[in-house]
Amino acid sequence: MIEKKDNHSRSHIGYGSSYRRGRHHEVKQPAGIGSVLGGQVWVIKPDKKAQAENPCLWMQSGAVKFKSCNNFYDCTTCKYDHAMQAKVDKGKQVSWQDAMRRRPALERVCRHSLTQRIAHRACAYDFRCEKCDFDQYFEDVLSAKTKSDPTWVETVKGFDVPRHYHFHNGHTWARIESGGYMRIGLDDFSQKVFGQADGFELPLMGKEMNHNEIAWGLKRRDNLADVRSPVDGVIVEVNTRVLENPGLTNREPYGDGWLFLVRTPDIKSAAKQLMSDADSTNWISEEVGVLEEMVTEVAGPLAADGGTFGSDLYGNLPGLEWKKLARAFLKTE
């Protein structure tokens, strides 16, 4: 039983295209690209005036006609940005900075406004970002502390699985943030199975985490469960709010209840080691099957359709063993 929650539906798919519901006779018409998904006809149409879903700085400045960012607004490691800068140095390309300097004064906005990461803000440093205090503050402080909320969530028998989040099989998640960071947390499944934590044993900023190795601890009563890290990287921010209020991770596991912000050396490789979207939904369905067997052992047969699980299974079913749950779902004890 899968339900979907759409908190921010949209009718574009980036890279200059739009889509709409169609009729069966439109599948073969030249007006658009017809396809069938789930029994519904969708007509996808290239749009010459469409905006990129994640517009590149070079595109927004007018230095190039069309380019969507595929490096999470981490310009320092972007191959495209480096190649364009090389062309600028050879005099074969106008820089995005010079393109912006040619605009009327009121249109000379901050690079973070150009890429839609912040609201309208005028540039006061003539696009010399290395001299801008706000630019440094935004990258090091504001972007690190800003939470990320899922825009599309599927619910599998009471467990939320958001879109565009990458999952580790130890029930942790990683979300790629603009600027090339990864935000880390515990998923909704683990929160509901283990119940509200009394506290967390979290590493400090600057600590290096390694993929699939034990990185922090989850405490409840006299029990402690180790949790494995979903990625390699160095912690650049710790969410101190969850130390003061552990229940925040239960109420908003994919929002304010995040645990760390990590800088990883190769963000794309890190994401490839994890599950995303369809894979994560199928995986949660399989985990629900394992959980149903464990619950049946201590509480007897479930409803014919399995029913929907609520929160705090460990607290409400005394027969469920902490260590057994940790071994099965966190892959630790």
pLDDT 10s digits, 172-204? 999 988 777 899 999 999 999 999 999 999 999
Element holding 224 (H helix, E strand): strand 223-228
Contact yes or no for 35/28 (Cβ under 8 A): no
If one counts the domains in the chain, the total is 3
Q: pLDDT at residue 100 above 50?
A: yes
The pLDDT value recorded for residue 10 is: 38
Q: Is 294 helix (H, G, I), strand (E, B) or coil?
A: helix
The pLDDT value recorded for residue 40 is: 57
Contact yes or no for 204/247 (Cβ under 8 A): no
Contact yes or no for 219/198 (Cβ under 8 A): yes
- DSSP one-letter code for 327: I
In a domain, 327, yes or no: no
Of 241, 258, 278, which closes a domain? 278
Report if pTM > 0.85.
no
Range of the domain at 37: 17-46
CATH (domain of 170): 2.40.50.100
Of 278, 297, 324, which closes a domain? 278
Q: What six digits make up the tokens of 21? A: 């519901």
